[in-house]
C-alpha cells in the first residue's frame, strides 16, 4: 500500500522549472504539497509558470548563488522536503586525455552547487525533513568519453551517503536516472527520437524514460520513511545492460 505523506508539506525544488525537477514539482503539487520550484533560465521559469497554473510557486535561483537560494528557503519557512535537480555545471563528453583540466573541473560545478543547496537549506529543514539529489546512471555504468559525467555522479552518490550518516534523522537519498527524453537532447533536432532509440537499444527496457517516471522515484523517497542513504535507479535497466 502506497501512502501519501505530502499533503500540506513544504517542498522546495532547485532545478524545478524544467525536465525532471519540473515533473517532480507537478507531482508533489498534485499530492497536496506546497511547492516552490526554482530555476535559473528565464525561459524555463516562464514556461513553468504557465504549466503550474498557480498550483505551485515558481522562483529564480542559481545553485551557485547562496543569496537567491536563501530567499526561497526563507519564503518557504520550515522545509519538509528539499530537492536539487539542477545540472549546475558544464559536462565535456570527450575521453579524459582529450579534456583540459578546466573542462574536467567544470563538471564538478554540479557537486559544488548541490553542496551549496544543502548548506544554505539546512537551517530551514524540519526535524524529520528529507533531502533528495539527482545523479545519473553513468556514475556506475561507464562508457568511453563519460569520465567527467561519471566521476561527478559518483561523487554526488557518495556525498548522499555521507550526509545521510551525518544529518540523521533527516533522510538523504539520491535518484539516478538513465537516458531520459528531456530538453538535454533537443540539440539533435529532428533526429532526436532516432538518437534516443539507438542510445537505448541495448537497455533492458528499450526506450528512453520520461521525466514523470523519474519524478515518481523522487516522490517515493520523499514518502518512504524507512529509506535513507539510498540510490534509487530509474534507468530502464541501463546499468545492467
Across the range 203-211, mean pLDDT stands at 96
Global pTM? Answer: 0.95
Whether residue 39 contacts residue 63, with contact meaning beta carbons closer than 8 Å, is answered with: no
Percent of all residues in the chain with a pLDDT value above 90, rounded to a whole number: 90
Query: What's the pLDDT band for 2 if we cut at 50, 70, 90?
Result: low
pLDDT of 118 > 90? The answer is yes
Chain segment 19-29, per-residue pLDDT in tens: 999 999 999 99
Average pLDDT over residues 35-62: 96
Over the Cα atoms of the chain, what is R_g? 17
Give the mean pLDDT of 60-84.
Answer: 96
Domain definitions of the chain by residue range: 10-234
| pLDDT category of residue 217 using cuts at 50, 70 and 90 | very high
pLDDT of residue 150: 96
Q: Rounded mean pLDDT of 30-48?
A: 96
Quickly tell me which residue has 561523487 as its cell. Answer: 155
Position 27 scores a pLDDT of 98
**Own/partner pairs for 120-124, CB < 8 Å, 24+ apart?**
120/66, 120/69, 120/70, 120/73, 121/12, 121/69, 121/73, 121/79, 121/82, 122/167, 123/73, 124/73, 124/74, 124/76, 124/77, 124/78, 124/79
pLDDT of residue 223 exceeding 90, the answer is yes
Residue 136's CB: how many other CB atoms inside 10 A? 26
| CATH class of the domain whose range is 10-234 | alpha beta
Amino acid at each position: 500500500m502506497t501512502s501519501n505523506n505530502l499533503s500540506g508539506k513544504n517542498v522546495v525544488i532547485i532545478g524545478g522549472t524544467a525536465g525532471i525537477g519540473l515533473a517532480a514539482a507537478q507531482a508533489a503539487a498534485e499530492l497536496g504539497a506546497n511547492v516552490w520550484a526554482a530555476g535559473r533560465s528565464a525561459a524555463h521559469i516562464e514556461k513553468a509558470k504557465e504549466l503550474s497554473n498557480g498550483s505551485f510557486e515558481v522562483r529564480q535561483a542559481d545553485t551557485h548563488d547562496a543569496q537567491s537560494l536563501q530567499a526561497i528557503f526563507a519564503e518557504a519557512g520550515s522545509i519538509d522536503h528539499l530537492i536539487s535537480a539542477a545540472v549546475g555545471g558544464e559536462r565535456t563528453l570527450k575521453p579524459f586525455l582529450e579534456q583540459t583540466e578546466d573542462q574536467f573541473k567544470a563538471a564538478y560545478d554540479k557537486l559544488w552547487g548541490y553542496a551549496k543547496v544543502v548548506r544554505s537549506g539546512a537551517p530551514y529543514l524540519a526535524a524529520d525533513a528529507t533531502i533528495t539529489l539527482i545523479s545519473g546512471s553513468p556514475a556506475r555504468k561507464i562508457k568511453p568519453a563519460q569520465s567527467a559525467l561519471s566521476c561527478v555522479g559518483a561523487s554526488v552518490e557518495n556525498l548522499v551517503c555521507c550526509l545521510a550518516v551525518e544529518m540523521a534523522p533527516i533522510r538523504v537519498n539520491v535518484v539516478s536516472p538513465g537516458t531520459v527524453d528531456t530538453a538535454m537532447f533537443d540539440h539533435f533536432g529532428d533526429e532526436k527520437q532516432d538518437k534516443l532509440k539507438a542510445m537505448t537499444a541495448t537497455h533492458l527496457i528499450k526506450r528512453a524514460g520520461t521525466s514523470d517516471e523519474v519524478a515518481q522515484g523522487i516522490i517515493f523517497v520523499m514518502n518512504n520513511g524507512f529509506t535513507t542513504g539510498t540510490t534509487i535507479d530509474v534507468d530502464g535497466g541501463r546499468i545492467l545492460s
